[in-house]
Amino acid sequence: MTDLFSKFDALIAERQALLDTGVRDPFAIVMDEVKSPTLAIIQGRPTILLGTYNYMGMTFDPDVIAAGKKALDDFGAGTTGSRVLNGTYQGHKACEDALKEFYGTAHAMVFSTGYQANLGMISTIAGKGDYVVLDADSHASIYDGCGLGNAEVVRFRHNSVEDLDKRLGRLPADAQKLVVLEGVYSMLGDIAPLPEMVAAIRKHPNCMILVDEAHGMGFFGPNGRGVYEELGVEKDIDFVVGTFSKSVGTVGGFCVSNHPKFEVLRLVCRPYVFTASLPPSVVATAATSIRKLMHAGDKRAHLWKNSKRLHAGLREMGFTLGTETAQSAIIAVMLPDQETTVRMWQALLELGVYVNMARPPATPAGTFLLRCSLCAEHSDDQVGDILDRFRAAGQAVGCIS
Amino acid sequence: MSNRDETFAKVAEAIEPFNKKGIDLAESTSFAGDLEWDSLTVMDFVAAIEDEFDIIITMNMQAEIETVGQLVDAVEKLRG
DSSP lists the bridge partners of residue A41 as A33, A46
Chain A nearest-CA distance from B58, in A, is 5
The per-residue pLDDT for A77 is: 98
**A17-56+297-397 falls under which CATH superfamily?**
Aspartate Aminotransferase, domain 1 (3.90.1150.10)
Could you tell me the residue range of the domain that residue B66 belongs to?
3-79
Hey, what amino acid is at A193? P
Coil, helix or strand for A143?
helix
Candidates B45, B54, B58: best to mutate against A (most CBs of A within 10 A) is B58
Q: Which residue of A has its CA nearest to B38?
A: A361
Q: State whether A366 and B47 contact (CB < 8 Å).
A: no
* Inter-chain residue contact A170 with B47, CB threshold 8 Å: no
Tens digits of per-residue pLDDT, A108-151?
Answer: 999 999 999 999 999 999 999 999 999 999 999 999 999 999 99
Put simply, the answer to whether B58 touches A152 (Cβ < 8 Å) is yes
The residue of chain A with its CA nearest to that of B55 is A170
CATH of the domain at B57: 1.10.1200.10
Domain with CATH 3.40.640.10 in chain A: 60-293
> Average per-residue pLDDT in chain A?
96
> Which residues of chain A make contact with B50, given a CB cutoff of 8 A?
167, 170
pLDDT given for residue A30 in this prediction: 93
pLDDT mean across residues, chain B: 92
Strands (E), A279-343: 320-321, 330-335
Residue A18 has pLDDT above 90, yes or no: no
- CA of B45 to nearest chain A CA: how many angstroms apart? 11
pLDDT surpassing 90 at residue A363: no
pLDDT at A22: 84
Establish whether this prediction's ipTM goes over 0.85.
Answer: yes
Domain count of chain B?
1
pLDDT score of B80 more than 80: no
Mean pLDDT computed over A322-333: 97
Report whether pLDDT(A364) > 80. no
Q: What is the pTM of this model?
A: 0.95
- Cα A193 from Cα A199, distance rounded (Å): 10
Tell me how far apart the alpha carbons of residues A327 and A184 are, in angstroms, rounded to a whole number. 9
More confident residue, B80 or A86: A86
**Parts of chain A belonging to CATH 3.90.1150.10:** 17-56+297-397
Q: Is the pLDDT of residue A12 over 80?
A: yes
CA A57 to chain centroid, in Å, comes to: 15
Whether residue B17 has a cis bond before it, omega within 30° of 0: no
CA proximity to A377, closest of A306, A329, A312: A306
> What does the pLDDT look like over A244-271, one tens digit per residue?
999 999 999 999 999 999 999 999 999 9
Chain A residues lying within 8 Å of B59, measured CB to CB: 146, 152-155
Can you give the pLDDT at residue A270?
A: 97
Are A154 and B58 inside 8 Å of each other by CB? yes
Question: Which residues in chain B are contacts of A146 at CB distance < 8 A?
Answer: 59
What CATH number does the domain located at A60-293 have?
3.40.640.10
- From chain B, the residues in CB contact with A131 under 8 A are 58
pLDDT, residue A25, reads 83
